[in-house]
Amino acid sequence: MKRKAFTFLGVLVVLSMLLTACAAQTTSTPTVEPVVPATAVATVATTAAATSVAATAIPATATIQPTTTHSSKEIILATTTSTRDSGLLDVLLPLFEQQSGYTVKMVAVGSGAALALGQQGNADVLLVHSPAAEQTYMAGGYGKDRYLVMHNDFIIVGPKADPAKISGSASAIDAFKAIAAAKEIFVSRADASGTNAEELTLWKAAAITPAGDWYLKTGQGMGDSLRIASEKAGYILTDRSTYLSLKDTLDLTILYPSDNKTDKSLLNVYHVITVNPAILTNINYTGAKAFADWMVSADTQKVIAAFGVDKYGQQLFFPDAGKPEPQQ
């Protein structure tokens, strides 16, 4: 799996250019960090037209892997931070590596950044939770296979005192309206992640454009954003699994939905997507498909169902392989 090889003529041309440059005593070009092309961000880091919500641009600090040729027994997984921060991948990846013989190189970013990595050909397989952006990605031909894996739900957490009085709100939209009206601190990931896309959808439904000192943008993953919300005594939208895995280190409590209930409008759905090998010749599609098939296998789905139950007394993720898409 190699990049396009230079022709012999091309090599001569390059050598000629280098010799000319040396003769002219020109300085070398400084090394720059790889970035996500603007076209990639515009294509995949947005929500679907149905929601009419544009996702935030991928932050300059996003972890973007350079395009490289890698071993046939290595796969690059671009995944949302919630699967890492919750600890789920700490359980799943060693099992997959042991059972398959593949080595997994994980890049944990927001779903928008993960999709951009796939579009660039800098990942082999994706595990993401931004369905509208995923559909745009698939429609563009960047993904080959897309399988439903699991779901959990989003919740709104905040300081126990609940200064905006959102506990007991009739809906997440009402909770957002109360926070904005009170101008209490709200922490946004602002990173084009699936969580950020859901947040923006809720603000739009509430007919509110959040802005001002009370609205803090972190550009960080779920775990780091939760820590910032805790430090600032602010509210934040999070997936339940990441919150539960970190709650002992946070001064935050679940405020909506209350009493451990689930709001079906806040379902958080995860899919595994193999990158289309037609994009670039270095895509390890065989390994990517092996990982995707393994994620939806019966044994793996049982591991997902059991994850966190012994520690938290409840499921953190609900396996969905082979089922219809969960209805919000």
Partners of residue 128 on adjacent β-strands: 271
22, 30, 79, 144, 314 from 26: Cα distances, Å: 6, 12, 42, 45, 64
Contacts of 137 (CB under 8 A, 6+ apart): 43, 44, 115, 118, 119, 143, 273
Decide if 37 contacts 113 (C-beta within 8 A): no
Partners of residue 275 on adjacent β-strands: 143
Specify the CATH number of the domain 153-265. Answer: 3.40.190.10
Query: 143-158 and 253-256 as β-strands: parallel, antiparallel, unpaired?
Result: antiparallel
Full-model pTM: 0.76
| Opening angle at CA 217, ends 165 and 254, nearest 5 | 35
Query: 125-128 and 74-80 as β-strands: parallel, antiparallel, unpaired?
Result: parallel
| Opening angle at CA 246, ends 242 and 247, nearest 5 | 110
The domain limits of the chain are: 38-152+269-319, 153-265
- State pLDDT tens for residues 181-228: 999 999 999 998 899 999 999 999 999 999 999 999 999 999 999 999
- State pLDDT tens for residues 81-135: 899 999 999 999 999 999 999 999 999 998 999 999 999 999 999 999 999 999 9
Q: Which fold has domain 38-152+269-319?
A: D-Maltodextrin-Binding Protein; domain 2 (3.40.190)
Q: Do domains 38-152+269-319 and 153-265 have the same CATH topology?
A: yes
